[in-house]
Amino acid sequence: MKMIMRWFGEGNDAIPLKHLNQIPGVEGVVWALHDVPAGEVWPENKIVEVKEQAESQGLHIEVVESVNVHEDIKLGRSTRDYYIDNYITTIERLAEAGVKVICYNFMPVFDWTRTNLYEELEDGSTALFFENKKIQNMDPNELVRTISKNSKFTMPGWEPERLEQLSSLFEQYKEVTKEDLWGNLQYFLERVIPVAKANDIKMGIHPDDPPWSVFGLPRIITNKEDLQRFIRLVDDPYNGITLCSGSLGANPENNVPDIIKQFADRIHFAHIRNVRTYDNGDFIETSHRTEDGSVDIYKVVEAYHESGFNSYVRPDHGRHIWGETCRPGYGLYDRGLGIMYLWGIWDSLQRNTKGE
């Protein structure tokens, strides 16, 4: 596996690039131009700037997360071709910079949903938390205010200029069914995948987070059956998956290791994190260690190993530990510990395979 680490860019991240380079086995950064609104073409000079920053520390920029899909594409509006054309131009520019994988999602309005950014765990660390009952009784605008108030960092997927249109977006989605969303996704893929293939960039859709409907919005990438349908929309190796063990693992009915084995040849990017789930639908993110959560991370890594996985992996969200002030879910310390846990599993599997 090729270990990489998410980085939000100079001036938008408390973690210096040189610190990422000090974690054993980290080869590159997962990045994006977070100041470019969804639907706009990414400027060449900004792409080159990130490339130069990363390469100055011996890191590559081969994985982008995310080139966000404009809501008009998801809604199937008459303006979608304009935004798809922009998306295609961005793909071509990223290819010129050496990008190999683009992670994206097709979640309406919210890229991810949590009710508390700093919920305290038993050991005094804090982590992202989802309280099911609170979401069921909460106005979406209240959630936006809560997230904005409690974060000192800009939050990808929660861009202020987009969320200012929240009421209008919810009105537009009232008429959008799951089947409509599937159709709009297929339209997008039929335009984009041939271009990605021509530019040798693999596209990896991220599962819905959490993997069920939130605020009545349609969600369509939630389980093994959805992923199978997705693959068939445009059956091409360049149309693939960003397999997130935490997103899918929030639903105990999802057998993540089994899903990995079934779709291994179409997983272009792996997010590995753990969550502890509760019977009432709540979940909290934990350390990567299997014993701390409900996802068997050992079995997850084993599934990748047995499948001969040789693509990109990042430790996904971690806890906030040792008094670190950091972006919610993206502390350096716990993700660094997570990387070493993942390498420990991988290295032991490698030795067992070789009979050492």
For 116-170, the pLDDT digits (tens) are 999 999 999 999 999 999 998 888 888 888 888 877 777 777 777 777 888 889 8
Torsion of CA 49, 50, 51, 52, to 10 degrees: 50
Among residues 65, 6, 67, 12, which one has the least CA distance to residue 37?
67
* Mean pLDDT in residue range 185-208: 98
Is 316 considered catalytic here?
Answer: yes
Cα separation, 178 vs 113, whole angstroms: 19
- In Å, how far are 46, 93, 104 from 42, measured between CA atoms? 7, 8, 15
pTM: 0.95
Q: What is the pLDDT of residue 42?
A: 98
For 40-61, the pLDDT digits (tens) are 999 999 999 999 999 999 999 9
Provide the 8-state DSSP code for 155.
-
pLDDT band at 10 (very low <50, low <70, confident <90, very high): confident
Cα separation, 39 vs 53, whole angstroms: 25
Is 271 considered catalytic here?
Answer: yes
Q: Render 230-274 in DSSP notation, one character per residue.
A: HHHHT-STTEEEEEEHHHHHTSTT--HHHHHHHHGGGEEEEEE--
- Do residues 281 and 113 touch, judged by C-beta distance below 8 A? no
Which of helix, strand or coil describes residue 145? helix
Among residues 241, 308, 311, 301, which one has the least CA distance to residue 274?
301
Cα separation, 248 vs 259, whole angstroms: 9
Which of helix, strand or coil describes residue 197? helix
* Mean pLDDT in residue range 243-252: 98
Q: What is the pLDDT of residue 158?
A: 78
Catalytic residue among 34, 70, 268, 271: 271
**Total tally of structural domains belonging to the chain:** 1
Cα separation, 303 vs 322, whole angstroms: 32
- Do residues 214 and 110 touch, judged by C-beta distance below 8 A? yes
Catalytic residue among 244, 268, 282, 341: 244
Backbone angles phi, psi at 153, to 5 degrees: -115, 155
Percent of the chain whose predicted confidence (pLDDT) is above 70? 99
- Do residues 274 and 293 touch, judged by C-beta distance below 8 A? yes
Query: Taking 80 as the threshold, does the pLDDT of residue 26 lie above it?
Result: yes
Catalytic residue among 83, 104, 330, 341: 330
Q: What is the pLDDT of residue 80?
A: 98
* Mean pLDDT in residue range 166-178: 91
Catalytic residue among 104, 317, 326, 341: 317
Is 330 considered catalytic here?
Answer: yes
Is 317 considered catalytic here?
Answer: yes
Lowest mean pLDDT among 85-89, 171-175, 304-308: 171-175
Percent of the chain whose predicted confidence (pLDDT) is above 90? 83
For 202-237, the pLDDT digits (tens) are 999 999 999 999 999 999 999 999 999 999 999 999
Is 103 considered catalytic here?
Answer: no
* Mean pLDDT in residue range 186-205: 98
Query: Taking 70 as the threshold, does the pLDDT of residue 356 lie above it?
Result: no
Catalytic residue among 226, 316, 326, 334: 316
The residue assigned the tokens 């690039």 is 17
Is 206 considered catalytic here?
Answer: yes
Name, in order, each residue with C-beta under 8 angstroms of 153's C-beta and a sequence gap of 6 or more. 8, 12, 13, 14, 327, 328
Among residues 219, 260, 191, 252, which one has the least CA distance to residue 111?
219
Which residue segment(s) compose the domain that 99 sits in?
2-354
- Do residues 288 and 272 touch, judged by C-beta distance below 8 A? yes
Catalytic residue among 34, 70, 206, 288: 206
CATH of the domain at 17: 3.20.20.150
